[in-house]
Amino acid sequence: MRYLSIIFLLMLSLQSCFKEEMMIPPHEQGDLEEGQAALGPYYENQVYFDLYDSEEVSSSSINDYDLSFESSGEGWIVRLNSAQFMLAGNSQDTLFSADLNMDDLDMRFDTSDGDPDSTAIGKWYEISEDSIWSHRNVYLVDRGSDREGNSLGQKKVQFGMHGDDYLLRYSNTDNSGDTLVLIVRDPAMDQVFYSFDNGIVDIAPLPDQWSLLFSKYTTMLITDEGDNYPYLVVGILLNPNGVAATLDTIHDFLDMDSDDITELEYSSNADVIGYDWKYYNFDAGVYTIEPDMNYVIRDRDGFFYKFRFVDFYSDEGVKGYPTFEFVRL
């Protein structure tokens, strides 16, 4: 009996080491659905789309905000609006009135994979066993450009804390327009979005209401000579709340079923689908969809979808309207 008790306790301890699998209720394969994201001819919009409900959830201009602040958890991540090609450099100086110049700073952008350790603002704070505080370094933030490529200017920015919320100080580079604002966390949202022009703005839907974000975003490309350079692209970013995806170039899209996806490896990197499902055909002068690039997407509820792009143009022939097909497996 003693040995049986020991075995039982060991089984309980081992069981606690494994993450519980999400149980998906039995369901039939869905029908072929079609969607379209109206980014516009200048790619001036960003569109949130939900696969489960087969619908666009919300849309907004890419220039509606500048910074986003981690909101729902206990973290303090600050992100730039990647769709504007924003950059930021840490002056390592706490004197807010100091003159800052881009040429003197290491100007960075947020990596497109969504890695919280690879943001341009970086770790602007310090955490000890019993407290957390801001380094109060002043950043130079290049706001990037609007939809027509016009510069949106620069700001000097400093981050602080007020209890569990953020203190944001910013001004123009000549110190005019010095502003101090409290950014209050919203526990229902992943991020709180802030515009230097309009204050707190409503951008994203609730975290459990969307799967894919269609938008411009900044990523790192490589020249023919092997040099890295940041560049604006147009593509898809994943919801960081449990959505993952992978590319499948083996199976035929229409024939692919749930048996074909069991051995695939999925990534939760935000840009795993990315932008290179299309290319510019210089001979024809149009964007062309890459053939045989099928994706499998696992949504936040654990359902799987096969997904592919079929066009980059509207019915009227206007670019910036990626059209796609998907089926819940």
pLDDT band at 263 (very low <50, low <70, confident <90, very high): confident
Q: What pLDDT does residue 226 have? A: 83
Asked if residue 47 and residue 82 are part of one domain, the reply reads no
Asked if residue 96 and residue 124 are part of one domain, the reply reads yes
Q: Taking the model in full, what pTM does it have?
A: 0.90
Residue 229 φ/ψ, nearest 5 degrees: -155, 140
One DSSP character per residue, 189-225 reads SSEEEEETTTEEE--S--GGG-SEEEEEEEEEEE-TT
By the 8 A CB rule, do 115 and 128 touch? no
Q: What pLDDT does residue 22 have? A: 45
pLDDT band at 11 (very low <50, low <70, confident <90, very high): very low
Which of residues 201, 234, 258 is at a domain's end?
A: 201
Asked if residue 311 and residue 244 are part of one domain, the reply reads yes
Asked if residue 94 and residue 80 are part of one domain, the reply reads yes
111 inside domain: yes
Closest by CA position to 115, among listed 66, 72, 82, 160: 82
Closest by CA position to 52, among listed 216, 234, 243: 243
3-state class (DSSP) for residue 10? helix
Asked if residue 316 and residue 222 are part of one domain, the reply reads yes
Backbone CA torsion sign across 58, 159, 229, 265: negative
Which of residues 201, 232, 255 is at a domain's end?
A: 201
Instruction: Report the distance separating Cα 267 and Cα 297, nearest Å.
Output: 9
Instruction: Tell me which H or E stretch contains 14.
Output: helix 2-15
Q: Say which amino acid occupies 168.
A: L
Cross-strand pairs, 294: 248
170 inside domain: yes
What is the arithmetic mean of pLDDT over 261-266?
Answer: 90
What is the arithmetic mean of pLDDT over 293-318?
Answer: 96
Asked if residue 190 and residue 69 are part of one domain, the reply reads yes
End-to-end CA distance of the chain: 48
Q: Could you give the number of structural domains in the chain?
A: 2
Asked if residue 256 and residue 167 are part of one domain, the reply reads no
Closest by CA position to 143, among listed 203, 218, 201, 85: 85
By the 8 A CB rule, do 41 and 169 touch? no
Domain of 168?
Answer: 65-201
Q: What pLDDT does residue 279 have? A: 95
Asked if residue 78 and residue 53 are part of one domain, the reply reads no
pLDDT in tens, 202-247: 999 999 999 999 999 999 998 888 888 899 999 999 999 999 999 9
